[in-house]
Amino acid sequence: MTPAEVRAAMDAKVVVVDTRPLVPFAAAHLPGALHIEFNLADLADRAELLVPKGVQVIVHAEPEGTVAASVGLLGDAGLHVLGDLEGGLGAWQAAGQPVEPLPLIATDRLWAELDRYLVLDVREPYEFRHGHLSGAQLLPSGDAWTGATPAAHGRPIAVFCSGHARAAFVASLLLARGTEAALVTGGMYEWLQHGYPVAKGAAP
Amino acid sequence: MAVPPEDNLLDCRGLLCPMPVVKVGREIKAMRPGQVLKMLATDRGAITDIPAWAEDTGNELLEWREEGGALVFILRKGPEE
């Protein structure tokens, strides 16, 4: 699909799924695009956990070699793929279309500024019980599509998982729905590596 | 104590979080109590996911280590509910 065709579909509420690596996605992506990182071995399985079957999507995949596989695997996940963005982000921007970033926060900055954020933990309840950031709210990634946006009381939401794969999807979903959100890179793995504290027990 | 030989081997190398723990759950379900599963992964999220999952589900993580560029987890299936 040309950038103009993609734009028209977006205006009709069709969702863009962006399968590019995290760093280029965070730098600039189509407004409202959802991030599900390409991985030949499990893109279909992960997408199936995150997005309800039958949702109409347009695929933005780069490099070119990942386009056909991204389209095929998202179709395998039960999504209704209408097409893919021809020419990638280069063609999109050359057509004068806007982009938006996904803010990233490293774990050490989150630790230093923890009070500024509402931490949204998108792991499973058993992971949360085993150890979570003090004050974090729980919203498992598979429930994010249908779940209510957490009340952040004016704070930006810092989305957190064990690494970044699940959190990147949820952060992009919150942004798409107009909520100020950022992605914590490195997740619980890095948090523990730094020796920062965790709380135990179930979510309130 | 020596780690017992595995009954089943599950290769999750190259899979992103949370697929390794999802696949371990499916694999263990088909095993008998006391049997041992060896799982290989490369996503470092498994280092926090797998112990949490084992604790929650009543299965036992006997050991994990890094070996040949992969993470190796040895799990023993707990008693059936």
Tens of pLDDT, residue by residue over A143-186, are 999 998 888 889 999 999 999 999 999 999 999 999 999 999 99
Q: Is the backbone of residue A153 left (phi > 0), alpha (psi -120 to 50) or beta? A: left
Class for the domain spanning A104-194: alpha beta
From the list B22, B43, B52, which residue is nearest A130 (CB)? B52
- Does B15 sit within 8 Å of A39, measured CB to CB? yes
* Contact present, A101 and A28 (Cβ < 8 Å): yes
pLDDT tens per residue, range A84-116? 999 999 999 999 999 999 999 999 999 999 999
> Within a domain: residue B1?
no
Q: What number is the average pLDDT over the span B15-22?
A: 94
pLDDT tens per residue, range A43-91? 999 999 999 999 999 999 999 999 999 999 999 999 999 999 999 999 9
Q: What number is the average pLDDT over the span B23-35?
A: 96
Mean pLDDT across chain A: 96
Q: What number is the average pLDDT over the span B69-80?
A: 95
- Which CATH code for domain A3-94? 3.40.250.10
pLDDT at B3: 82
Q: Which chain A residues have a beta carbon less than 8 Å from that of B52?
A: 126-127, 129-131
Q: What number is the average pLDDT over the span B44-64?
A: 94
- Does B55 sit within 8 Å of A49, measured CB to CB? no
Residue B81 clears pLDDT 70, i.e. is over it: no
Q: How far apart are CA A145 and CA A54, in angstroms?
A: 13
Q: What number is the average pLDDT over the span A23-39?
A: 98
Residue A17 clears pLDDT 90, i.e. is over it: yes
From the CB of residue A87, how many other CB atoms can be counted at a distance below 10 Å? 16
Residue B1 clears pLDDT 70, i.e. is over it: no
* Contact present, A15 and A58 (Cβ < 8 Å): yes
pLDDT at A203: 84
How many folded domains does chain B comprise? 1
Residue B29 clears pLDDT 70, i.e. is over it: yes
> Within a domain: residue B81?
no
Options B15, B17, B70, B72, the catalytic residue: B17
Q: How far apart are CA A33 and CA B50, in angstroms?
A: 31
From the list B22, B45, B57, which residue is nearest A163 (CB)? B45
**Residue that has been written with the tokens 């999220």 in this structure:** B45
> Within a domain: residue B38?
yes
* Active-site annotation holds for B12: no
For residue B65, give its domain range: 8-76
DSSP string, A111-180: HHTGGGSEEEE-S-HHHHHH-B-TTPEE--GGGTTTSPPP--TTSPEEEE-SSSHHHHHHHHHHHHTT--
pLDDT at A151: 86
The residues spanned by each domain of chain A are: 3-94, 104-194
CATH (domain of B51): 3.30.110.40
ipTM entry: 0.86
pLDDT at A78: 98
- Does B18 sit within 8 Å of A162, measured CB to CB? yes
pLDDT band at A14 (very low <50, low <70, confident <90, very high): very high
Q: What number is the average pLDDT over the span A12-36?
A: 98
Q: How far apart are CA B13 and CA B1, in angstroms?
A: 27
